[in-house]
Structure formats: C-alpha cells, structure tokens
Structure 1
Amino acid sequence: MEIRRITPDYAVTPQIAPDDVPVIAEQGFRTVICNRPDAEIPTELSAQVIRAAVESAGLRFVENPVTHSTMTPERIAAQAAAMAEAPVLAYCASGTRSSVLWALMQAGRMKTDEILAATARGRL
C-alpha cells in the first residue's frame, strides 16, 4: 500500500486489502472511501470485504465507485460529503480517480496551479 497525501486531511492510495486496514487505522485515518467499482476487482477485494475490515477497525467506510463516464457532479458531491469525517483515505485502482475527484471538488475554491500541484502528489 502506497499512501500519498494530497492535503493533511485527504490521501489516496491504489487498491487496499483487508490486511492494510491496521496500518490505515494506525496512521489516524477516520474514513475510507472506495472509488473503485466492484466489477474491476476480484471478490476478495470487493467493497463489502473491505467495508467489513474497515468497520471492524472502528473506521467509517463510504462507497462512491466511479469510472470516467460516471464521474458526475453527483459523485463529486458524494465524495465531498464523505470527507466530513477527516482525515480521509480514498482508494481506486491507482489513486488517480480519487485524486481527480478531490481536484474537481476544489474547482473555484483554489487556484488552478495549487490544485494541479496537490493532485500531482496523488499520482503514481
């Protein structure tokens, strides 16, 4: 697991596994957001499996699966709402979708150069 901080309260990572959850909890994350649709992954990494591990560690789990075609204003708003209990760790296949969602939430709130610089920290 490679956690990449975009801000002090928002970080992204590629796909996590249940055995990553203790490290996530130790690092102080309160919420884990799944941005990866289950159709992309094997059953043993499904959102339901990850949810069970995350919630058993006392953390909050939110499913907000997105693809390029489903990255809509509603999904962006759902990501923003899920960030209410920070710090947040969001994951997808590589961390890129989770980074892009964050960037889209910042449009109009931050300078473009600042958004791009922060989002670059979330890419491989």
Structure 2
Amino acid sequence: MPVEPRQITEDFSVAPQIAPEDIPAIAAAGFRAIMCNRPDEEEPGQPQEATVAEAARAAGLETCCVPFSSATMTEADVAAFRAALDEMPKPILAYCRTGTRCTMMWSLVNYDTLGPDTILRATSAAGYDMSGLVAQLRSRR
C-alpha cells in the first residue's frame, strides 16, 4: 500500500512507516527531504532507516534521522528535530510508526511560535489529536 502523507503545513508533512519502494512517489509529490523519527528495530520487520535513506538519496532527496521514543524523548531529541526543520530543504516528510510521534514533536517545537490554536487546527486537519499535548504545554506556564 503506498504511503499517504498528511500535510501539517505547506513545508511539513508526516506519514506512517515508509519503505524504499515508496520513495519515487514521495519524490514525485514534491518532497525535498525525508526525516526518520523512528528507531530501528522498534518493531520486527520494519524497514531499516539506512535502507530508506539510501533510496531517498538516490532519488535526490536529503535525509536525516532523529529517532526517539515518546516515552524517552530528551531535550537533545527536541533540539535535533528543531535543527532538522530549520536546516533541511522544504517540503519535508517526517515518518515514524503512525505519524503521531512526528506530529507531536512538530507541535512541541512550534508551540511557542504558533500558539495552541494554530497547532490544534493544523494537526486536527491532518487527523491527529494533539489536545492532550497542548493541555500539558499550556499548564507549564
């Protein structure tokens, strides 16, 4: 089944796990970069990041890997994700197991700039519920 990216902004979309055979369609859709947010070996049988990245580079896409688990996410993960968003050519397609982790991290790094209403509108339109995260972020003030 081909990957179906979900657009969060003009420059950032998310997807569930992608495979090397998805890369031609991703490139044809106009993406210029792919970011992996999923650790290798998270689930038996998932494509390895290096294999996906090799296919992406062969198709002319830039790649980066910022693997993290929602349960063990660190400040270094947040900083690496933010740097990738700032430095990679746009539009970017980020992937993880379902797309939720990528959406969560995007919401986290953009919360102070975009605010809760914009975060919730963008993520809801893509089919992701970030209301719990936004509530946590609101309470930190």
Task: Tell me whether the two structures share a fold, i.e. TM-score over 0.5.
Answer: yes
Q: How many residues align?
A: 124
The equivalent of 1:60 in structure 2 is 62
Q: 1:69 deviation in Å?
A: 2.7
Cα pair distance change 1:122/1:72, threshold 3 Å: farther
Q: 1:44 to 1:71 in 2, by over 3 A?
A: closer
Partner SS for 1:45:
coil
| TM-superposed deviation, 1:44 | 6.1
Q: Identity rate of aligned residues, in percent?
A: 43
The answer for the alignment partner of 1:25 in structure 2 is 27
2:73 counterpart of 1:71 = yes
- TM-score under structure 2 normalisation? 0.81
Q: What's 1:113 paired with?
A: 117
Relative contact order (C-alpha < 8 Å, sep 6+): which is higher? 1
Shift of 1:61: 0.9
What CA distance in whole angstroms lies between the structure 2 residues aligned with 1:49 and 1:71? 24
Question: Which residues in structure 2 correspond to 1:96-107 (within 5 Å)?
Answer: 96-107=100-111
The answer on whether the counterparts of 1:76 and 1:105 sit within 8 Å (CA) in structure 2 is yes
Instruction: Classify the secondary structure of the residue corresponding to 2:114.
Output: coil
In structure 1, the partner of 2:9 is: 7
Deviation of 1:16 (Å): 0.3
Question: Structure 2: which 5+ residue stretches go unaligned?
Answer: 130-141
Q: Distance in 1 between matches of 2:25 and 2:71?
A: 32
TM-score scaled to structure 1, two decimals? 0.92
- For structure 1, the residue ranges without an aligned partner over 5 or more in a row are none
